[in-house]
Amino acid sequence: MGGYIHHLTYGADLRARLDDSLLNRLTDELIRQRFFTLPVADFYWAAVDALNSGEHLASGDDQDDGTVRDLLARLIKALDDRRPWPEPAFKALPVDETLNFMNTPLIACMSILPRDVEARLSRSFSKREPGGRDGEFIALRLRTGQQVVLRAATFRVADVEVYSADDPEATRAALEEFTGLEVQPAEP
C-alpha cells in the first residue's frame, strides 16, 4: 500500500487541495499506464486500503494528511467514473519471457536513439541477452496481442531493431499506433 501511495504523491505539494485539472491528468496517466507503469487496479486498491487503514498518509513537510486523504478519495471516485478501464496500449514483459527469441525474425527498424525510445515508452532497455544476442532489449505485449522485442546494439546510434513472430505488417502498424514510434519495414 505505502509504495503505491508514495508513488502517487511523491514530490507533490499537497498542503492545499489538488485542483480538478491535475486530478484528471493523474487519473488519465494511471489508466494509460505510461508514466505509472503498474496496473491501474493496483493503485486503485492501494488508495482504498490507505483510506481504510486510518494511518497517517502524508509524507514530508509539503503534505497535509487531510489533503492526501482528499486526493485519494477523489481519485477513487474519478477512477470509478471511468470504468471499465481500457486495456493499456502495451505492457512490458520480462525479456526472458519472449519465446524462441533467437529464431524470431527482424520485422522493422527505427531510426531513433534508444534513450528516446525509453523516454517515449517510460520503459528501460534491459542488458539481458536472450538467445545469445548482444545488445539491450525491451519486450512488449501490445494491446492487440502481438509480442515484440526492441533491440539496441548500442546507445550511441539511432538504430533500434524490432523482432516479432507475429504478422509483420499488422505488428508494425500496431506498434506505431500504440507507442507513437515510427517504424520502417526491415530490409530483406
Helix (H) or strand (E) holding 91: strand 90-93
Clarify whether residues 46 and 121 are in a common domain: no
Q: Say what the pLDDT of residue 5 is.
A: 85
Q: Could you give the angle at which helices 65-81 and 2-9 cross, rounded to 10 degrees? A: 90
Is 140 in contact with 147 (CB distance < 8 Å)? yes
- The residue segments making up the domain with residue 64 are 2-81
- CA distances (Å), origin 126, targets 19, 89, 92, 123, 139: 37, 20, 11, 9, 9
Torsion 177-178-184-188 (CA) sign: negative
Clarify whether residues 174 and 145 are in a common domain: yes
Number of domains in the chain: 2
Answering whether pTM is above 0.85, one says no
Clarify whether residues 177 and 96 are in a common domain: yes
3-class SS at 2?
Answer: helix
3-class SS at 109?
Answer: strand
Q: Say what the pLDDT of residue 75 is.
A: 95
Cell 494509460 belongs to 32
Clarify whether residues 62 and 127 are in a common domain: no
Clarify whether residues 103 and 155 are in a common domain: yes
Res. 70 pLDDT band, cuts 50 70 90: very high
**Tens digit of pLDDT for each residue in 5-47?**
888 887 566 777 888 998 999 999 999 887 888 899 999 999 9
Q: Last residue of a domain, which of 81, 114, 131?
A: 81
Clarify whether residues 25 and 112 are in a common domain: no
**Tens digit of pLDDT for each residue in 122-177?**
899 887 655 566 778 899 999 999 999 999 988 888 899 999 999 999 999 999 99
Helix (H) or strand (E) holding 170: helix 168-179
| Burial of residue 54, with CB atoms counted within 10 A of its CB: 0-12 exposed, 13-18 middle, 19 or more buried | exposed
Clarify whether residues 105 and 175 are in a common domain: yes
